[in-house]
């Protein structure tokens, strides 16, 4: 129930949200940073994603092994990710382990060590991650599409950075970006499950006591001018593959638009599941593709709707034509 959601903005700028769900014996708690790849300069492209990785290499109080063992000891599921507009760290634990989870999250986000040797090893890991994307056609297509749809703009850059930028993220560069951008005003701490709001406020106060708040302000559209999509787009890549991977795109409501709920419903009708128009027309009736679907991506100031299909080269024209008739 929405009545069970409580929000508090602390004097230091931290925002704390809870949703009490008394029927559960677990809690999902996380910290979200209002910074992502679109808030980076071209020279620092990928540093938000790099920091998401690097904090797990150790803090002032915990080694990388300590972090891994403590997570397993709580029986929790830990997840971290970076998008164009945020970085997220979240874990699901039994309600009896909430205090330990908040302490671990706070330590990761506020006190990363950023040891130079650790950073150099993690650079290699991310370079391997890039190769993995290049070896996965549908993921590679997503990056090629973004670069072409938002040319020479932050939203068009790869979230993980490039082979040129990532090796430059040394201790000094990484520490400076973290100190500036991971300010309290950019942090949202949220928990849902069997959690009491007042208790979470107390735990957050302990976890972030004495931390430097940083100087960064929240991201604004002044920092990131409204993106300008480019069209039409035709991309040819990796001709040695057996399939053609196709994306058809159109503008879409942004995350703050009053039309976002109607848009979500429309996306489900067009390509959201096995009963959707795309699935039924492209896969079930014509057998043109194994993988086919659609979905919208809504950013703070712009949106894009993508139709995706993987098909044989000789079936491309028919698949594209039938996909366009579905919406």
Give CA–CA dist 84/119, Å, rounded: 22
Whether the per-residue pLDDT at 70 is higher than 90: the answer is yes
Task: Label each residue of 280-310 as H, E or C.
Answer: HHHHHHCCCCCCEEEEEEECCCCEEEEEEEE
Q: Which of the two residues, 229 and 308, has the higher pLDDT score?
A: 308
The 10s digit of each residue's pLDDT in 9-44 is 999 899 999 999 989 999 999 999 999 999 999 999
- Give the pLDDT band of residue 217 (cuts 50, 70, 90): low
Quick count: other Cβ atoms within 10 Å of Cβ 265?
Answer: 10
Whether the per-residue pLDDT at 239 is higher than 80: the answer is no
Residue of 40, 52, 70, 85 with catalytic role: 52
Asked if the domains at 2-207 and 244-324 fall in one CATH topology, the answer is: yes
**Active-site residue, 52 included:** yes
Q: What is the CATH number of domain 2-207?
A: 3.30.830.10
The 10s digit of each residue's pLDDT in 247-263 is 999 999 999 999 999 99
What does the pLDDT read at residue 224?
63
**For the chain, how many residues are written?**
327
Torsion-angle region of 13 (φ positive above 0: left; ψ -120 to 50: alpha; else: beta): left
Q: What is the CATH number of domain 244-324?
A: 3.30.830.10
CB 208 within 8 A of CB 106: yes
Average pLDDT, the chain: 91
Domain boundaries, the chain: 2-207, 244-324
The 10s digit of each residue's pLDDT in 185-207 is 999 999 999 999 999 999 999 99
CB 311 within 8 A of CB 244: yes
pTM of the model: 0.91
Q: Which of the two residues, 68 and 216, has the higher pLDDT score?
A: 68
Terminal Cα distance for the chain, rounded: 34
What does the pLDDT read at residue 112?
96
Residues contacting residue 138 through CB under 8 Å, at least 6 positions apart: 245, 291, 308, 310
Query: Quick check: helix, strand or coil at residue 32?
Result: strand
């Amino acid at each position: 129930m929405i009545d069970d959601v409580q929000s508090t903005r602390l004097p230091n700028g931290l925002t704390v949200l809870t949703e009490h769900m008394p029927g559960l014996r677990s809690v999902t708690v996380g910290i979200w940073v209002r910074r992502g790849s679109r808030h980076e300069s071209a020279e620092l492209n990928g540093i938000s994603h790099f920091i998401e990785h690097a904090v797990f290499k150790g803090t002032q109080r915990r080694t990388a092994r300590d972090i891994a063992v403590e997570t397993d000891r709580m029986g929790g599921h830990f997840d971290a990710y970076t998008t164009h507009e945020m970085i997220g760290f979240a874990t699901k634990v039994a309600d009896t382990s909430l205090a330990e989870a908040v302490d671990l999250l706070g330590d990761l986000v506020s006190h990363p060590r950023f040891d130079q040797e650790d950073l150099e090893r993690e650079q290699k890991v991310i370079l391997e991650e890039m190769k993995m994307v290049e070896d996965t056609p549908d993921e590679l297509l997503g990056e090629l599409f973004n670069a072409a749809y938002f040319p020479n703009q932050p939203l068009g850059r790869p979230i993980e950075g490039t082979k040129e930028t990532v090796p430059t993220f040394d201790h000094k560069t990484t520490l400076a970006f973290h100190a500036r951008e991971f300010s309290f005003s950019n942090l949202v701490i949220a928990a849902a499950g069997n959690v009491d709001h007042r208790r979470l406020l107390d735990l957050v106060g302990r976890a972030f006591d004495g931390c430097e708040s940083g100087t960064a302000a929240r991201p604004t559209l002044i920092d990131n001018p409204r993106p300008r999509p480019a069209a039409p787009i035709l991309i040819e890549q990796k001709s040695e593959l057996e399939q053609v991977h196709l994306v058809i795109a159109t503008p879409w409501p942004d995350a703050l638009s009053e039309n976002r709920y109607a848009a979500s419903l429309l996306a489900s009708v067009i390509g959201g599941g096995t009963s959707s128009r795309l699935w039924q027309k492209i896969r079930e009736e014509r057998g043109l593709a194994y993988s086919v679907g659609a979905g919208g991506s809504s950013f703070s100031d712009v949106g894009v709707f993508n139709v995706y299909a993987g098909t044989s080269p000789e079936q491309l024209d028919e698949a594209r034509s039938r996909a366009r008739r579905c919406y």
